[in-house]
């Protein structure tokens, strides 16, 4: 029995080694991904909830790995954060998104995700200011999305960085709203321009009667604080019909469009005609 136990431990250790090695391998490959031009931004429209017109595109990163295919950001962003690569990757995202948006028709904004570690460790306002200047993008056309976890370690510092970003004239959105810890207290610490209601609520809309009451309360809370509200993850016409009655400003989800590497040509044409 003892031997068997030891065997199991050894097996376990070998499995851990394999996992650690796989992670190191991924870190190593991610380190060279920018230089090898393997990162891509996909863009997903965020539409006006009343008119359906596109107002913003959220930039969503993809890693086009030569062997693994598209690696999801849910998989490699945490690796980037641990391996001290998030600063460089985040800078690439901000720069690439600003370059893209500068070529779009005027009314459209671009919305960029900034991870909590990136927010804490790198000088995001300086990176943003440089990208705006380099590409001649008006600050009001850039939205920065952060999650409330940026407040956890040093809330005072987070507020300072957000205030610096606000000073540049960019817009600030609180992402994944309603999923973290005490969301409400963070709303008192900094006045965001908008909140994004997490898609987990929308997914449960048809399943739990209470979910509609919660989403309605979040939308009303946002409005009472003077914030715009975007609802994420809208996939079905039924969800749309329910959400329409809540009078949120914007919606985003597969029902309207999936993230794509290029903007829809017909929409581009329409926007040019309107501009
Ligand atoms: P997020 O910021 O909450 O982005 C929304 C995610 O939901 C995206 O997944 C998007 O493709 C997906 N989505 C959009 N509409 C629907 C829908 O109707 N149904 C469902 N089921 N999903 C929908 P994605 O692109 O895989 O990104 C996952 C997360 O990775 C993002 O969540 C964000 O936290 C992070 N991420 C993505 N791009 C970046 C980036 O450039 N930088 C950083 N730091 N994080 C990023
Ligand atoms: Ca987001
Ligand atoms: Ca989100
Ligand atoms: Ca999320």
Distance (Å, whole) CA 132 – CA 128: 6
Average pLDDT, integer, range 155-160: 94
Q: Is the ipTM of this complex over 0.85?
A: yes
Q: Tokens standing for 63?
A: 């890693």
Band of pLDDT at residue 182, cut at 50, 70 and 90: low
Q: Residues whose CB is under 5 A from ligand 2 (ion)?
A: 113, 145, 175
What integer is the mean pLDDT of 171-186? 84
Which ligand 1 atom minimizes the distance to the CA of 60?
38
As a whole number of angstroms, the distance between CA 234 and CA 255 comes to 6
Report the atom number in ligand 1 closest to the C-alpha of 252.
15
Cα 185 to ligand 3 centroid, rounded to whole Å: 19
Residue by residue, DSSP assigns 205-248 as TTT-HHHHHHHHHHHHHHHHTT-EEEE----SHHHHHHHHTTT-
Query: In this predicted structure, what is the pLDDT of residue 5?
Result: 75
Mean pLDDT of the chain: 92
Residue of the CA atom closest to atom 33 of ligand 1: 113
Per-residue model confidence as pLDDT tens digits over 36-46: 999 999 999 99
SS3 145: strand
Atom in ligand 1 nearest the alpha carbon of residue 232: 15
User: Global pTM?
Assistant: 0.93
* Residue 1 reports pLDDT greater than 60: no
* Number of neighbouring beta carbons within 10 Å of residue 122: 17
**How does residue 235 score in pLDDT terms, banded at 50, 70 and 90?**
very high
Determine how many CB atoms are found less than 10 A away from the CB of residue 83: 16
- Separation CA 211–CA 228 (nearest Å): 20
pLDDT above 90 (res 74)? yes
Confidence of residue 181 (pLDDT cuts 50, 70, 90): low
Q: ∠262-274-266 over CA atoms, to 5°?
A: 35
| DSSP secondary structure code for residue 34 in this structure | T
**Longest CA span, the chain:** 78
Closest CA to 236 of 190, 205, 267: 205
pLDDT band at 3 (very low <50, low <70, confident <90, very high): low
Question: Over the stretch 23-73, which tens digit does the pLDDT of each residue have?
Answer: 899 999 999 999 999 999 999 999 999 999 999 999 999 999 999 999 999
Name the residue of 45, 83, 113 whose CB sits within 8 Å of the most ligand 1 atoms, as the mutation to test its pocket: 113
State yes or no: pLDDT of 2 exceeds 70.
no
pLDDT at residue 220, as a whole number: 95
Q: Please write the tens of the pLDDT for every residue from 80-130.
A: 999 999 999 999 999 999 999 999 998 899 999 999 999 999 999 999 999
Q: What is the dihedral of CA 214, 217, 219, 225, to 10 degrees?
A: -140
Answer whether residue 225 shows pLDDT above 90.
yes
Ligand 2 centroid vs 230 CA: distance in angstroms?
11
Ligand 1 pocket test: which of 46, 47, 73 has the largest number of ligand atoms within 8 Å of its C-beta?
73
Give the number of whichever ligand sits closest to the CA of residue 252.
1
Output the pLDDT for position 18: 86
Q: Which residues line ligand 1 (CB under 6 A)?
A: 44, 59-61, 72-74, 77, 90, 93, 113-115, 118, 175-176, 199, 233-235, 252-254, 259
Q: Whose CA is nearest to atom 20 of ligand 1?
A: 233
């Amino acid at each position: 029995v003892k031997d068997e136990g030891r065997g199991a431990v050894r097996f376990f250790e070998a499995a851990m080694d394999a996992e650690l090695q796989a992670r190191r391998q991924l870190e190593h490959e991610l380190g060279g991904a920018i230089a090898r031009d393997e990162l891509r931004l996909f863009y997903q429209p965020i539409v006006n909830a009343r008119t359906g017109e596109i107002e913003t595109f959220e930039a969503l990163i993809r890693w086009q790995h030569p062997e693994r295919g598209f690696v999801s950001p849910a998989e490699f962003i945490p690796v980037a954060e641990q391996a001290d690569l998030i600063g460089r990757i985040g800078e690439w995202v901000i720069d690439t998104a600003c370059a893209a948006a500068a070529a779009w028709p005027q009314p459209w904004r671009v919305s960029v995700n900034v991870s909590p570690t990136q927010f804490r460790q790198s000088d995001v306002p300086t990176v943003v200011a440089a990208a705006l200047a380099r590409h001649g993008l008006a600050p009001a056309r850039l939205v920065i999305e952060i999650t409330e976890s940026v407040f956890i370690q040093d809330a005072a510092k987070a507020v300072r960085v957000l205030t610096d970003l606000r000073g540049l004239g960019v817009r600030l959105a609180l992402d994944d709203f309603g999923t973290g810890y005490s969301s409400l207290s963070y709303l008192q610490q900094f006045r965001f321009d908008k909140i994004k209601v997490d898609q987990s609520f929308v997914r449960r809309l048809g399943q739990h009667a209470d979910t509609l009451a919660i989403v309605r309360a979040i939308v009303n809370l946002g409005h009472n604080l003077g914030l715009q509200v975007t609802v994420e993850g809208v996939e079905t016409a039924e969800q749309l019909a329910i959400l329409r009655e809540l009078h949120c400003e914007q919606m985003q989800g597969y029902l309207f469009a999936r993230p794509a590497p290029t903007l829809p040509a017909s929409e581009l044409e329409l926007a040019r005609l309107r501009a």
